A and B are shown apart, each in its own frame.
Chain A
Amino acid sequence: MNDDTIDLEHVNKIRDGDSAGFRFFITKYKDLLFTYASTTLVDRQLAEEAVQDAFVNAFRYLKSFRGSSSFKTWLIRILINEANKKRKQVERNIVLKEKFNEDMAINEEAPVLSDEIETVKYALGLMDSDKSLALRLFYLDEYSIKEIAQLTGWTIAKTKVSLHRAKKDIIAIVSELQSKTQSDGSKR
């Protein structure tokens, strides 16, 4: 039985009145939703709130879930909407500009990163949130361009452009971080 079928079974049980069964989805998807929320929202607490609001809204509107997409995709769409609502309340781009120079040079205060995955995570945090989100949707959950456009509300053209630029940016940032780490290591 695949994931989607299991999710649908739980959805039907909840619709029949087993509201406690919703905990299954919280346990299963909280980390994934938190990852996507953190892509859009720098502040951890805001990201947690977005995830919480997404789960509550998903429960509230469960009757409107028709099954045309998987439950996971539907939930991610709700989360992206919630995160965008919160983002409009917060001046994230101001924080981004302080962290990220225009020519993508890494400043002297960049942390020492223990491994390649940490480096990539850090690099994702430095990027523009739309590009970072496009990358995560494409690589974490392997959504197609068309699916990413549906999830985010972007046009297909914007999705393609964002993804293309995001790939170039992250390669540049990671390469720079790695060369900085190597040069810091050789100085010691």
Chain B
Amino acid sequence: MAALYAWRAARVTPLGELLAPPRITAALLRLTVQVVLVASLWRGLYSQTGTTAGLTRDQAVTYAVMAVLASRLRELDQRSGRDAVLQHMHFGTIIYWYLRPLPPQRYYALRAFGEQMYGLAWALAGYVVCLATGVVEPPKSPAVAGVFALSMLLGQLVLYYVMLLIDQLCFWTLRNGAAMLILIFAQNLLSGVYAPLWFFPDWFITMSRFLPFQATLSVPLSIYVGRVPLSDAGAQLALQAVWVASLALFTRFLWRRAARRVVAQGG
């Protein structure tokens, strides 16, 4: 029975997407154009240069295209489904999260899981097409593919906890619009969505080591394209695991504190 409830909660946002064909068409067109543009940009940039920052042209194109595909993983619009924490705080409906026979933290996790699975379907479909058309390179070996998959899983967990942290902010500030936008910019810049972190100056790479963002995308993609060799991957995976564990503990603590702040009908 619990599995049935979990399934029902997890499929809410994906179902909302599937029932809106214009959104699916838009997502498909957007992803296609973005992949073509990004691949063209990096090929154009490399046309007059060889290996730069330890990345060849094919590695850079693969990295950039896979970053675009990975950014699909959590791009669903909870706002249109009126289920963002910000909206619940604004309208007072957050109280229902605490009245259901399902703890709010589990409901939140199930919703996020459903969204990420739906995003994963998109990313995988895009990856297969890009691989078949030669836009991205295949992994160098099965071992690289396996370590990449593990690193990507840890990266998605880090991203989940970072986004949860921003949502939890609403319990104290009521609004998190500005913080969410800052997070998106930071995530895009510091995880290597805009450009692989290897292109950035040393001080920038050092700074990003102290932040969780590079663990979300830069680490798995660097392993995939071979910029981080398998011999060094262990340390990177350990760092990702540390981020997952520390963020999990911190957000767990915040859920408990947040529950004390929720009042119904004025207290």
Chains A and B are bound partners: no
